[in-house]
Amino acid sequence: MTSTRRGGPGAVPALILGNGITALGVQRILADSGIPYFSAEREDPFVTRSRHYCPVPGVAEQPAPDELGTWLAGVPAARAVLIPCADVWVRAVSELRAELRDRYPASVASPDAIERLVDKGRFAETLTEVGVPHPRSRSVSSESELRSVLADGFEAAFLKPRDSASFFRAFGQKAFRAGSADELTQLLAEARRHGLEVIVQEYVSGPPSSHVFIDGFRDRKGVVRALFARRRLRMYPPLFGNSSSMKSVAVQEVREAAEHLTGLLDHVGYRGVFSAEFKQDARDGRFKLLEINTRPWWYVEFAARCGVDVCSMAYRDALAEPVESVESYRTGVECVYPYMDYFACRELLRSGELSLGEWLRSWIGAVQPVFRRDDPWPAVRATAGILSGKVRGAWR
């Protein structure tokens, strides 16, 4: 499997594993960079409706993460660079057999390094080892453990999954928060019924703008080649939601957080793309590290459009090619995801915290993760799906 469509005859293609907004962004970045690629996805309209969609030739089915090795063995490719776009895919790629890793290289960390950052229980332990500021967290598996932790002075505690993806599939949300210990106990029992392990974590209060993200890339030699900082402006849902509006900022504005992050990556021997979320604690002014994604994230294309293309870095690093460092990027650029930001703005408008004019001005000229003028169909398809769902709901 070679591509003459991009990158020249015989160029080693990238193979994108995943779907949704993240895979769409990676697809567009590689297309803009002239890197040949194929997508393993066959159904998701975010990916397949894009003008840049290029499916794996000669393969009718898309893989499952736990069957990746078997699937790759049947792909008609001499060689391809794997770019995983979800936690399950990162794990699957990092655990490939040695003979497949030679044929399908990837810029990913070791399985142990990934687990230390993705598993929320091990993550908290690792942050304590390194001395990175973070919210107090404890693993709990029973009512007695939970009540013991709450009695230890945790403020505004909530339950957070050790495995975020499995938890979201089960409950459609990122975490459980309740008004009393009894409610948290009931929620713990519900998580346990689904076979999910959780931690209890102290909630760091503050507005959406107290959240900052530091994204970037660390190569096979242990050199951080890029850091990209963005500040959240709005989010939805308001407590445990995703960013719906944000702005690129200089890394110097969040230097303390960046130093802690790079120290942590050094400690675990990390390699690859990353995206870390911090929240500035109003009580002491320190940036507390909440979580790290060990892969491309929803707004990876936003970073590329500001001048930080971590996907091309990962491609070159996987092939053992030189990776140039990014020294600067565009700051003050805003990004809005209209579907989610509509709900965030509607609530702020009702509470008087946002005017209609401010709302409209924040959308005009902002970068979007789905809609692009030169690639409109993923957004058109998504909008049609939303509207048809509302029509069906109204009819019922």
User: Encoding tokens for residue 104?
Assistant: 């399908």
Q: Output the average pLDDT for the chain.
A: 91
Q: What is the pLDDT along the chain (396 residues), one digit of tens a residue?
A: 544 344 555 699 999 999 999 999 999 999 999 999 999 999 999 999 999 999 998 887 889 999 999 999 889 889 999 999 999 999 999 999 998 999 999 999 999 999 999 999 999 999 999 999 999 988 888 888 888 888 877 767 888 888 888 888 888 888 888 778 888 889 889 989 999 899 888 889 899 999 999 999 999 999 999 999 999 999 999 888 899 999 999 999 999 999 999 999 999 999 999 999 999 999 899 999 999 999 999 999 999 999 999 999 999 999 999 999 999 999 999 999 999 999 999 999 999 999 999 999 999 999 999 999 999 999 998 888 776 654 444 444
User: Encoding tokens for residue 262?
Assistant: 């790079």
Strand-pair partners of 231: 212, 247
For the segment 163-177, what is each residue's pLDDT rounded down to a tens digit? 888 888 888 888 888
Q: Give the whole-angstrom CA distance, residue 208 versus residue 235.
A: 6
Strand-pair partners of 229: 214, 249
Smallest CA-to-CA distance from 382 within 20, 12, 5 is with 20
Cα 285-204-142 angle, rounded to 5 deg: 145
Q: Give the whole-angstrom CA distance, residue 214 versus residue 306.
A: 14
Q: Give the whole-angstrom CA distance, residue 75 versus residue 138.
A: 43
Smallest CA-to-CA distance from 17 within 73, 99, 70, 81 is with 81
Smallest CA-to-CA distance from 243 within 175, 343, 167, 322 is with 343
Q: Give the whole-angstrom CA distance, residue 128 versus residue 134.
A: 8
For the segment 90-134, what is each residue's pLDDT rounded down to a tens digit? 999 999 999 899 999 999 999 999 999 999 999 999 999 999 999
Q: Give the whole-angstrom CA distance, residue 281 versus residue 284.
A: 6
User: What domains lie within the chain, and their CATH numbers?
Assistant: 14-106 (3.40.50), 136-202 (3.30.1490.20), 208-363 (3.30.470.20)
DSSP alpha helices (H): ranges in 39-119? Answer: 45-48, 68-73, 87-94, 98-103, 111-118
- Start-to-end Cα distance in the chain: 48
Long-range contact list for 205-210, CB < 8 A, 24+ apart?
A: 205/156, 205/282, 206/279, 206/280, 206/281, 206/282, 208/232, 208/233, 208/234, 208/235, 208/238, 208/243, 209/233, 210/279, 210/280, 210/282
**Any idea how long the chain is?**
396
